């Protein structure tokens, strides 16, 4: 190996691992936002003290998370995370099989919640019969910024068109 080959090899390694780290960060942020939405919906549906907050839940949640320096938890974003979860509930099923991710997250009976409520939270559009592989491919190919645009589309058929 000469010096030029060494430089080329190091450059290729750097580029490949840089791209990998960008994908990993995007995946983690997308997953974080989905889980935020998941837990907000879980709390709204079965939280023991939810009546105390009423419509002010997201405002109070935003206030508390900002004190903890959790980024992007303004009320509007929290509403969007909730919409992200309700639009794409199958994403959670993708991670039930991924033990590496589960090691990083608190359990909070999440496995039971995702499986027990599958009849309530099944595919948002079962008439389209979208296979789980579609969501896995989608999740691995696009960032949360793209999901933000997709969740704005109310028509499931149109949204699926843009996903494809």
List, for residues 91-141, the tens digit of each pLDDT value.
877 776 654 555 555 555 555 555 544 443 444 455 567 887 888 888 888
Report the alpha-carbon distance of residue 141 to residue 23 in Å, rounded.
9
- The pLDDT value given to residue 44: 86
- The pLDDT value given to residue 103: 56
Q: In angstroms, what CA-CA distances link 22 with 27, 48, 159? A: 9, 39, 26
More confident residue, 48 or 18: 18
- Residue 54 falls in which region: left (phi positive, over 0), alpha (psi -120 to 50) or beta: left
Task: Calculate helix-pair angle for 57-67, 75-87, nearest 10 degrees.
Answer: 110
Report the alpha-carbon distance of residue 71 to residue 65 in Å, rounded.
8
Does 23 have pLDDT greater than 70? yes
In the chain, the percentage of residues whose pLDDT exceeds 70 is 74
- Give the contacts of 80 (CB within 8 A, at least 6 positions apart): 33, 148, 151
- The pLDDT value given to residue 110: 56
pLDDT digits (tens, 9 = 90+) for 54-83: 668 999 999 999 999 999 999 999 999 999
CB contact burial 97-114 (16+ within 10 A = b; e otherwise): eeeeeeeeeeeeebeebb
The pTM of this model reads 0.78
* Length of the chain measured in residues: 164
- The pLDDT value given to residue 131: 81
Indicate the domain borders of the chain: 3-163
Reported as a pLDDT band with limits 50, 70 and 90, residue 16 is very high
Closest CA to 62 of 53, 151, 5: 53
Report the alpha-carbon distance of residue 85 to residue 40 in Å, rounded.
9
CB contact burial 131-159 (16+ within 10 A = b; e otherwise): eeeebbebbeeeebeebeebbeeeebeeb
- The pLDDT value given to residue 119: 40
In the chain, the percentage of residues whose pLDDT exceeds 90 is 52
What is the pLDDT of the chain when averaged over all its residues? 82
- The pLDDT value given to residue 122: 42
């Amino acid at each position: 190996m000469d010096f030029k080959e060494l430089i080329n090899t190091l450059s290729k390694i750097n580029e490949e691992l840089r791209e990998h780290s960008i994908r990993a960060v995007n995946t983690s942020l997308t997953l974080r936002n989905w889980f935020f939405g998941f837990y907000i919906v879980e709390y709204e549906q079965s939280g023991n003290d939810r009546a105390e907050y009423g419509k002010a839940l997201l405002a109070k949640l935003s206030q508390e998370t900002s004190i903890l320096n959790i980024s992007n938890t303004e009320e509007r974003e929290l509403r969007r995370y909730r919409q992200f979860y309700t639009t794409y509930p199958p994403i959670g099923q993708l991670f039930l099989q991924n033990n590496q991710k589960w090691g990083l997250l608190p359990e909070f009976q999440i496995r039971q919640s995702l499986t027990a409520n599958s009849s309530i939270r099944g595919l948002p559009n079962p008439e389209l019969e979208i296979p789980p592989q579609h969501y896995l491919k989608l999740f691995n190919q696009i960032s949360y910024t793209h999901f933000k645009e997709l969740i704005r589309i109310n028509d499931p058929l149109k949204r699926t068109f843009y996903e494809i």
